[in-house]
Structure 1
Amino acid sequence: MQKLLLLLLMVVTIHAAQRQNISQYQLDNGLEILLIQNPALPMIGVNVIVGVGSAYEDFSTSGACHLLEHMLFNGTETRTQKALYDDIDRIGAYNNAQTGAYFTNFMMVTPAEHIRQGMEIQADMLFKSTIPEANFLKEKGIVLEEVSKSLSESNAQLEQNLNSLLYKGHALSLPTLGTYATIKALTRDDVHRFYKNFYVPNNMRVLAVGPFDFSEMRQMIQEIYGQAKPDNIALPKTDNWSIAYDRINLSPFAAGKSFIRSYDGQDEILQLVWPLPENLQSVALQFLDDRLSELATDYQMQASSKEMAVEMGTLSSPAANFLLLSLRFPKGIPDIEAMSRSVADFLKQADLSVSESELPAKANARRTFFLQNLEKPHMLGIYNAPLIATEGIDAFLQTFEKNEIIRQARQLKKLQINGPPMTIIHLPFEKQAQNEGAIQVKTEIFTAKDGLPTLIVRQNSASDLIAIHYLIGHKAHWQSKYGENAALILHDCIGQRLENTDNQKVTETFGLSITVNDNPYIPMDDIYLHPDFGYLRIEGINDDKEKLIGFLNQALLNFIPTQAEFEKALTKVKGQKMSRPSDPAREKFKSLVNKIVYQPEALAAGPADLSYKQLIAFAKNYFQPANMIISIVSSAMPETIFPLFAEFKGDAAKNELPVLEKAIQLHSKAQQIHENVNSARAYLFWGYAREIAPAEKAPLVALSLLLRDTISFQIREKMGMAYSIDAGIEIAGERALFYISQGSRSENVETLRKIYPDFFKAALFKKTTEADLEKAINMYLGRSQFRRLSSINQAFYLGHSYYFHRDIHADEAFLNELKEVKLADLMKVARKYLKVKNPIEIIVQ
């Protein structure tokens, strides 16, 4: 017995030593807590993960969890909805939530000095919300808008078709948002009962990350969250229906059976599904997803039909795990049986395991991923809420331990895909019918000369990461000459090279995370999308900067893609284009807005077809060190980084090319464009353009913040006529666009277009106070700081500031300028510019 106790003590001691910055415990009321200390962050993030989601619903309550999430932002016993929003904005906080199948995650990120107020607001929402009847119909309207928006996206329809077959008899077969019918039928009392049953501390887990003192944070959590009373949770009981972890009524997997379903898209889609072993854990499933992504590209390259897009991945839940393969055919499925046999044979022969030699690299990559998300506390919660809710905090922590990663990865060793799949054919309706915290941060710039790149180096002595951001300029100029997708394809080739088998032996040392292209499908990535520059984002462990930078210099200098890399990238880009969800009405709307609101592009897009020879010529001009701004954030001193790039040298720039930015168009008369398309959803733009003085940018941005909030609150919160809305003032050079842009149900169009002009009047702000202005600006500054949390994003903004303003401090300087805006400045620009002249109205419905 003594030996056993001694062994356990040793294990616990070693475990604790590995987690010196982690504190894990449970309050008396059952609330589980995980604190992760990161002293270099300027903000603290607190995620509260509630153990309830759409997997706990039936047809009578479908959508209740998501609607409840919305209602918790509508007022508490001590705060009205307006007071709640004001208190959040006053401290510059980010307050949001997400609903999944097995969880609802509430995120609160605040500047470190305001975390007590942030947690008090969060606890007020979680335990003392009133679910006000007065706001209930309005919030149902917003959720119905969200359902409408979701159903206008073909991928959401495909997902619903698939889930209804795979999870028949289980709550997972229902959409998380609910349906039109279920949302309309829900009453305030239904949602309130759901709230009282599930929102108890013994059904919650807290994940907090930031620069806090453990003892102070524990005391605040006890005082703020520890007062909530625990209670029993009553799980709904429904005949012939399973919820949560129950699988009694889940229909058996329909192996060998085929189904035909309809959706509102343009392509014919063939999906094949195989069951996966229940014992595959989260890391193994993630590795399997990575491997399947590689196999999808391999299969597409060898397939006889090039007119298709291939996607492979997993679907996982506590109820069942599946492997999903999707083939998308713009011109129709050529031969269903032949295609099914071909891909089934391909997967049967495929090696789905992770080789022993790759395991160290995979473990390091997981560690890097964990370190990256420690810098973005909200993302740590977003990515891991499903695992924390279903398996607990210990399971979450284990997924970032090397031995556990390797153990789970080995679960794939003997995995084979055998047996007949379930087949689903989706046919379009149409075709059927017819930062900076307390630690000192140092930043220096070394400007380009003699063929060298411009280097911007920021030292953060507390960081274990090294983040390297390559901004490659004048993309539009060189693409207009060689090919419209040349940068996209070249960057993909670079990614292939950096991650190939030979280079893996080097990159595994650093656990590199490499991003070579934008993801246009993720809205939060929009800040990085720009037609005039491309980028590489590289993050890794900050152990040996000399070796890492030396490796990157050698790999990237005079980079010439191989023919095989080019062909693989070309195949991938074509596949992505074909896989892009289609909403013809929205695409038509975007096209009209670009044409009417903005000036024509200064450069043509370039040839649509890109040859291997053209790509090489493009690379020699575009991917030159002298055309790069390289921003590095690490613990190293700037003067030690600069010499490491001495050999990263190419041809000196011959001519200084202009930086291209989108320009706003001025009209001499009103513009009114109405177009009808076959869509149940309408898209509306209303606005006007004015010339402005550049010195007025800061007060105009402040006015934009108030204008956006006023418009959004009226149309979304009061009228329930939008799920999301884009409004305010867009500034480009010496012109500004005053506008509203949104989607809505078609029946709302006439009401909306009548009220738009009323928002653009200075009288609307005559009751605005200094406190209102301060709240709006602090909210903006908080969100701006939020985007600059991670080292790689700080590197991005440094490079962005220099590229567009030739000043690495331009971004920071503008934020400081915004802080100084007074109410008199605001009212001056409001009286000057809130005068409608030559309005533009674009409606597609």
Structure 2
Amino acid sequence: MELTRYELDNGMKVLLHRAAAAPVVACNVWVGVGSADEEPEEAGLAHVHEHMLFKGTDNRQVGELAREVEAAGGHINAFTSFDQTCYYVVMSSRYFETGLDILADAIQNSSFDADELERELEVIQEEIKRGKDNPSREASLKLFETAYAEHPYRLPVIGTSESVDSFGRDDVLDFFHKHYVPENMALVLVGDFEIDEAKDLVEKYFGGFENGGYTPRERAPEPKQTEFRGWAAGDDINQAHLRVGFHIPHATHDDIPALDLLGAILGYGDSSHLFQTIQREQQLVNSIYSGAYTPKDAGLFMVSAQYQLPEEGRSDTDVLGAIMKEVFRFRDVRPSLVDLERARTIIESQEIYGKQTVQGLAMKVGRYQMVTGDPQYEQVYYEALAQVTPEDIRRVAREYLTPDNCTVVLSHPEMHGEVTVDELEETTRKAREASESEHVKERVELDEEGFARVKLPGGPTLVIQEDHSVETFSARALCLGGLRYENVDNNGINSLLSELVDKGTLNWSAEEIAHRVESMAGSLKGLAGRNSFGLSMSGLSQFFERSFELFAGCLLESTIPDDEFEREKRLQLEYIRSRRDKLGAVNYEQFCAGFFAPHPYSMPSDGSEASIEALSADDVRAYYKSLINPQDMVLVVVGDIDSELVEQLAERYFSGHDTGESLAPEIPEPGELNKAQLVVSDLEKEQAHIICGFQTPSLDHDDKYPLEVLYAILSGQGGRLFYELRDKQSLAYSVGARMVFGLDTSAFVITIGTSPEKIEQAVEGIVREVRKLHDGTITEDEVARAKRYLAGSHDIGLQKNSARSLSVGLDELYGLGYKRSLDYGERIEAIEVADVERVVDAYLDPERMLVSIVKPEACEVPDDLLTRVLEE
């Protein structure tokens, strides 16, 4: 990578990389302060600044920063980690200077208004509550809290409810003046710009930033762990969450490349050892992963797993013992060269995939700068990665994967009974002993955009786009199907089939398929949507022919083996049960049931326990046979490929199949909303979740575009809902609108997660904002900003081959024309205020909406809530 590196006179580091493949620029400001740099009384202040820096400056009012970026079609956001805070803008290169201006203003001139701070602290409290509702996140936080005894990595980045509640404006300002100085910052710019012009703009906006000098806080070193640590507790959850950690060195240590490879071999992907042994063969877990977490200071080698115990015959310690035995096995055996090359390919491929977007490149450069001090450290890392041998991997396993360096955290359903730390330790040590004693060896015309469309004889419609900017490809095969083709008896069959279609063919077993895919650093996955079914494959273009053979075989010759069916059926049932832990998912399911009935959209996409339990392997095979008809399919291949080769392969594999009649089920008409309706249920969570939905036409209707402009007016950090309901009233951490598109009907929905006591206020606020839309309050500026945001987001979203292939394929499948996405900007640009006002009047009637609420049982929602709200 050609990287221009220099320092401003004030000490700020500047890193510039020109990448002109797309007219997009990423502007990042990295600040060398994270939660690990906080004093005890400052816990969470770094994260508070992430929230506050975009909340107004001396030059811009609250909301103006986000509105300016979104008005230019860009994205603005920030994140906080243990080691740094990053503020970033991604936007069209034509608005490059606007992005720099906004970032510079936020970094240098934030006003930290006291009222805004008070409201934002409430929002952070909502964020903390939302985190506590996520059992997986809580388990991961507990791992760090338990594994680290002294180092500040043991504390949550976001702080605690108590610490956040203690902050005042002076605390924020003191922290800001202490850490937000040029010497402690790096500016990273990647995208379509000229270097000399960028240098001038950087000097213009950041050159006058005065440096006050910086002395980093000295972090408490973590003592060497010399004995097992553990934590276990039962909770009202449906799935157990297991986390295992081993202390490892910092990011630039010589052992990190070998530890990264060990993580990939052990637990990354479907051909990894933990997946094959623990998830596939022994069927002990629903998901499992391992990898090395390498921040600025000493990190952790982690293993994470989720599982549900059967009613009898297995315990939490059985699961832990099996996992730890497989982990410790690598202390005694060297991985095969096949394993090593697969892992090396997976890790090295991330460098290529990371180049697909400018924001990915900017994040990579910035992270390396802040963590290692060398923005091009990646090259050093990959050179070291190439030198790692199987013996190196065994060496680091023996060095770091020991019971005395091990921390185990287990959050499990209360019904499992008590699990003690002593039991966790005993199980871990026995697994080490067992592994030690039992270790085992082991030809087409392209148009000006690079597109071609071909109807293959006796086969699918083939759409190709050649794009040689990055050495990757994406293929999609799509047909009508999905939830829309289901009924009460087979609800969830498309979702189940999407997990089975690549689990065995006439030529390959599931294990062989997984190994082939991951050895080529690719991905292969079934697709089951609301209106379609299909298969996707992405990978490196050097393996395209081998990948395409596998792709076609899985789609057309899937055998759906009985054992794979039983395994995936069990997993889908467990996932259906685990949905009950997710507040938003529970409410969305409830909303759809009330809104779309009797249309199939009213059912959950993964089915119900009853419908999935009733399905047999023969049912799924019969459905698969009737659904997959190549002549009715759309096949899309996008990326660094040769179009003539694609056509030859597509015709070889997809043409000439003797298929029967296409599946064409009778689809009930969706119901009509003639009055306001309220649906309420209980779920014991910290927050309540609200969805307000309005009926809108199908996705092929011309009103799709003004409705999308309306969604953009309401959503985003500069949108009406965010400003009115979050910023002004502090009702929620997240609130927004979106479209739920379908081939037969669609919905315009507004969602908000809020505290239970604020339910009525939240519904009133939503109705008030909807009524404002009817009062002629929509402005030319709002519409213009929304149009620029949609067009810019659309352009940014289509950078990746996978996104383009899906968009092109679905548009062609639905009869909209495969190039519809290419003129999206023009269609959006044609929308005027009158068009938006018309769709508001036509569809957003509070007297004909459905309001779905999920809340804690102790919170009462009156039956006449909507009557009261609508009468005001």
- TM-score of Structure 1 vs Structure 2, range by shorter chain: 0.7 to 0.9
Q: d(CA) in 2 for partners of 1:260 and 1:481?
A: 35
Hey, what does 2:635 align to over in structure 1?
A: 630
CA–CA distance in 2 between the matches of 1:345 and 1:629?
46
Supply the AA of the counterpart residue of 1:593.
Answer: F
- Please tell me whether residue 211 in structure 1 is matched to residue 192 in structure 2: yes
Q: 1:168 is paired with a residue of what secondary structure?
A: coil
Give how far 1:26 is off. Answer: 3.8
Which position in structure 2 is the counterpart of 1:139?
A: 120
Cα separation, partners in 2 of 1:88 and 1:530, compared to 1, 3 Å: same
Instruction: Give the whole-Å Cα distance in 2 for the aligned partners of 1:305 and 1:730.
Output: 35
Which residue does the alignment assign to 1:566? 564
RMSD of Structure 2 on Structure 1 (CA): 4.0
C-alpha contact (below 8 Å) 1:54/1:176 kept by paired residues: yes
Decide whether aligned partners of structure 1 residues 562 and 799 sit closer, same or farther in structure 2, where only a CA change above 3 A counts. Answer: closer
Name the CA shift for 1:286/1:660 in 2 (closer, same or farther; >3 Å).
farther
Matches within 5 A, 1:467-482: 467-476=474-483, 477=485
C-alpha deviation, 1:137, in angstroms: 1.0
Measured in 2, the distance between the counterparts of 1:539 and 1:206 equals: 32
* 42 and 308 in structure 1: CA distance in 2 versus 1, 3 angstrom threshold: closer
In the TM superposition, what is the alpha-carbon distance from 1:297 to its structure 2 partner? 2.1
Distance 1:507 1:431 in 2: 35
In structure 2, what residue type is equivalent to 1:646? E
Corresponding residue of 1:442: 450
Q: What does 1:194-593 align with in structure 2 at a 5 Å threshold?
A: 194-236=175-217, 243=219, 246-247=220-221, 250=222, 253=225, 255-269=227-241, 271-276=243-248, 279=253, 283-293=257-267, 294-300=272-278, 306=284, 310-317=288-295, 318-324=297-303, 326=305, 328-330=307-309, 334-335=314-315, 340-350=320-330, 355-357=336-338, 362-381=343-362, 386-394=367-375, 396-398=377-379, 401=382, 404-407=385-388, 411-414=392-395, 415-416=397-398, 417-420=401-404, 421-428=406-413, 441-450=449-458, 452-476=459-483, 477=485, 485-491=496-502, 493=504, 512-517=521-526, 530=530, 532-541=532-541, 543=542, 547-548=545-546, 551-552=549-550, 555-556=553-554, 558-560=556-558, 563=561, 566=564, 570=568, 573=571, 577=575, 580=578, 583=581, 585-593=583-591
Structure 1 pair 628–132 and aligned structure 2 pair: CA distance change class (3 A): same
Q: Deviations over 1:400-458 (max 9, x none)?
A: 7455444498742422333354444434468889xxxxx952212112441x2321111
What is the TM-score when the length of structure 2 is the normalising length? 0.81
d(CA) in 2 for partners of 1:485 and 1:388?
44
CA distance in 1, matches of 2:657, 2:86: 51
Q: Could you say what secondary structure the match of 1:678 adopts? A: coil
Query: Over residues 221-271 of structure 1, what are the superposed CA-to-partner deviations in whole Å (9 max), with x where a residue is unaligned?
Result: 34333432334224447xxxxx3xx41xx4653633543335452345555
When residues 84 and 281 of structure 1 are mapped into structure 2, their CA distance, relative to the original with a 3 A threshold, is farther
Does the 8 Å contact 2:636/2:805 carry over to 1? yes
Q: What is the correspondence of 1:110-149 to structure 2 with a 5 Å cutoff? A: 110-149=91-130
Q: Within 1, Cα distance between the matches of 2:697 and 2:555? A: 44
Deviations 1:737-758 (A, max 9, x none): 4542221111211222233322
Q: 1:754 aligns with which of 746, 764, 767?
A: 764
Query: What CA deviation, in whole Å up to 9, does each residue of 1:594-639 have, x standing for no partner?
Result: 1111233449856546666666555555555445422222355645
Query: Greater relative contact order (Cα 8 A, min sep 6): structure 1 or 2?
Result: 1
CA contact (8 A) 2:47 2:158 kept: yes
Q: Is the 8 A contact 2:580 2:586 kept in 1?
A: no
Q: Output aligned runs, 1:812-823, within 5 Å.
A: 812-823=822-833
Q: Is the 8 A contact 1:453 1:627 kept in 2?
A: yes
Distance in 2 (CA, whole Å) between partners of 1:411 and 1:835 is: 66
Q: Is the 8 A contact 1:29 1:228 kept in 2?
A: yes
| Mapped contact 1:367–1:400 kept (Cα < 8 A) | no
Indicate if the aligned counterparts of 2:636 and 2:809 stay in contact, CA closer than 8 A. yes
Alignment TM-score, normalising by the size of structure 1: 0.83
Q: Secondary structure at the match of 1:47?
A: strand
What SS is found at the alignment partner of 1:36?
strand
Q: Give the distance between the partners of 1:291 and 1:609, measured in 2 at CA.
A: 37
Q: Show structure 1 runs of 5+ residues with no match.
A: 1-18, 238-242, 434-438, 519-527
Deviation of 1:192 after TM superposition, in Å, equals 1.8
Secondary structure at the aligned position of 1:647 is classed as helix
Aligned counterparts of 2:46 and 2:390: Cα–Cα separation in 1: 34
Q: How far does residue 25 in structure 1 lie from its aligned partner after superposition?
A: 4.0
Contact 1:255 1:422 in 2 (8 A): no
Task: Show structure 2 runs of 5+ residues with no match.
Answer: 419-446, 856-872
Once the two structures are TM-superposed, the CA of residue 74 in structure 1 deviates from its matched residue by 0.8
CA distance in 1, matches of 2:102, 2:666: 44
CA contact (8 A) 2:24 2:90 kept: yes
Decide which moves more: 735-744 or 575-584: 575-584
Distance 1:466 1:94 in 2: 26
Give the conservation status (yes or no) of the 8 Å contact 1:41–1:211.
yes
The 2-side partners of 1:677 and 1:726 are apart by: 22
Q: For 1:456 and 1:607, how far apart are their aligned partners in 2?
A: 35
Q: 1:544 to 1:769 in 2, by over 3 A?
A: same
In structure 2, distance between residues paired with 1:654 and 1:424: 54
Q: Give yes or no for contact 2:725–2:765 (8 Å, CA) kept in 1.
A: no
- 1:646 alignment partner, SS class: helix
Asked if the contact 2:146–2:229 (Cα under 8 Å) also holds between the matched residues in 1, the reply is no
- 1:648 match: secondary structure: helix
Change in 2 beyond 3 A, CA 1:337/1:673: closer
1 CA distance for matches of 2:206 and 2:175? 20
Q: Any residues of structure 2 matched to 1:708-727 within 5 Å, and which?
A: 708=715, 709-727=719-737
Q: Percent identity?
A: 17
Counterpart pick for 1:703 among 710, 713, 732: 710
SS at 2:63 equivalent: helix
User: Is this contact kept in 1: 2:71–2:785, CA < 8 A?
Assistant: yes
Please, which moves more after superposition, 795-804 or 572-581? 572-581
What is the deviation of 1:805? 2.8
> CA distance change for structure 1 residues 589 and 621 in 2, over 3 Å: closer, same or farther?
same
For 2:51, which of 62, 70, 74 is the aligned residue? 70
- Deviation digits for residues 335-358 of structure 1, max 9, x if unmatched? 566655544333322478654455
Residues 725 and 741, structure 1, Cα contact 8 Å, conserved in 2 = yes
Farther off after superposition, 105-114 or 732-741: 732-741
Q: How does 1:141-160 map to 2 (within 5 A)?
A: 141-160=122-141
Any idea what SS the aligned residue of 1:181 has? helix
Residue aligned with 1:81, SS: coil
Tell me how far apart the structure 2 counterparts of residues 290 and 375 of structure 1 sit (CA, whole Å).
22
For residues 784 and 309 of structure 1, do their structure 2 counterparts lie closer, same or farther at Cα, with a shift above 3 Å needed?
closer
Matched residue, 1:3: none
Q: Is the 8 A contact 1:297 1:568 kept in 2?
A: no
CA contact (8 A) 2:288 2:303 kept: no
| Residue number in structure 1 paired with 2:676 | 670
d(CA) in 1 for partners of 2:793, 2:354: 17
Counterpart in the other structure of 2:24: 43
Q: 1:739 to 1:176 in 2, by over 3 A?
A: same
Q: Which amino acid aligns with 1:173?
A: R
User: Aligned residue pairs: how many?
Assistant: 798
Q: 1:736 to 1:713 in 2, by over 3 A?
A: farther
CA contact (8 A) 1:34 1:393 kept: no
| Inter-partner Cα distance in structure 1 for 2:319 and 2:744 | 56
User: Is residue 594 of structure 1 aligned with residue 579 of structure 2?
Assistant: no
CA contact (8 A) 1:626 1:652 kept: no
Contact 1:93 1:779 in 2 (8 A): yes
- 1:291-336: CA deviation from partner (whole Å, max 9, x where unpaired): 2322322332587675876554444442332333546444589456
Distance 1:537 1:615, change over 3 A: same
SS of alignment partner, residue 10 of structure 2: coil
- Residue aligning to 1:648: 653
**Alpha-carbon deviation of 1:34?**
3.5
Change (3 A) 1:176 1:665: farther
Structure 2 Cα separation of the partners of residues 640 and 88 of structure 1: 42
